Structures are given as C-alpha cells and as structure tokens.
Amino acid sequence: MSSASPIFSQFRHKPLAASEERTYIEVMDTATTNDHPSFDDILENFELLDDWEDRYRYVIELGKMLEPLPDALRTPDTKVQGCVSQVWLATTVHPDGVPRLSFVGDSDAHIVRGLIAILFAIYSGKTANEILDIDAVATLGELHLNDHLTPQRSNGLKAMVTRIRADAERANAGAA
C-alpha cells in the first residue's frame, strides 16, 4: 500500500480540536477541478485510522473541503428526498459527446457533508454510463460505513446514490 495522500498527511499532523473552526484540508471543487482526494485515497486513509472516532473526524474534514453551495441551488429540485438531514445535490452534465457529470452539494449536518464528499469522490467527473456501472453498495462497503452509521444516515446515503444514478440516467436519455 502506498503512503498516505498529502491531504491525509495534513489531517494527521494537525488533529481536529473540538473548539476550533479551522479547516485542515483544502476546499474541494468537484465541478471544475480534480484537486480532491480520490475514493482510493479516502479508502487508504480510512485503513490508516485506528478507530471510528478518527474516521468520523476525517469524514467531517472531507465535508469541509466541499465548495459552499450557492443559495440559488438550495431549491426543492436539488433537495434530496429521503434524508433526515437537509441535503442538496445539483448535477451539471457536460455533453461533450458522452455525457459526463459533476456535482455540487451541501447538507446541514457535518457528517452528511462528509458523506457527500465521499460520493463525489466516487462519481464526479465520470460519464453517465460509468456512474451507472458503479456498484455503490460494494464500493461504499469497502469503507464499512453501514456498520457505523445510524439507519437514518444509511437511508440518506442510499437516497443520495439513487439521486445521482437518476441524474445519470436522465443524462443518458438526453444524449440519445
């Protein structure tokens, strides 16, 4: 296994203090850059953390990397149904021949924001067909999240995956 990603290194050397409001990881812009951790980086970092308290802190830090969601995108159309927390996901389809999707999103819950960041690491920048080919249960299962999330959060995560897949299906239908 390779060494930890630079993002994780920043996290490891600067522990999260409950009273601090600083971000130790740079902001993640999934819409215009690929300057964010890949799912493989996240998985590797998860494996390096010894307990779930540290993993939760890491997930929260991933959520802090997300670009702020503009208020104009906090609409009923972008709100994800089936989540206990408020969650908004907006999809941009880049139709250069084969539709490629990118996402922006937000939540009012810190841990859910981190889950959104993980989903973006899995899906953002991929073609609609690639998104539809991803087995989300197996991929997310590599992180063992279902063993450590409440049933409500697990249902919300499924709702977000369902929404991303539906957007990919619509993108494919629009390209036909």
Residue from 28, 83, 115, 121 carrying the catalytic annotation: 83
Q: Please give the span between the terminal C-alpha atoms of the chain, in angstroms, as a whole number.
A: 41
Is 132 tagged catalytic? no
Task: Yes or no: say if 84 and 112 are a contact pair by the CB < 8 Å rule.
Answer: no
Task: Yes or no: say if 94 and 111 are a contact pair by the CB < 8 Å rule.
Answer: no
CA–CA distance, 40 with 132 (Å, rounded to integer): 19
List active site positions.
83
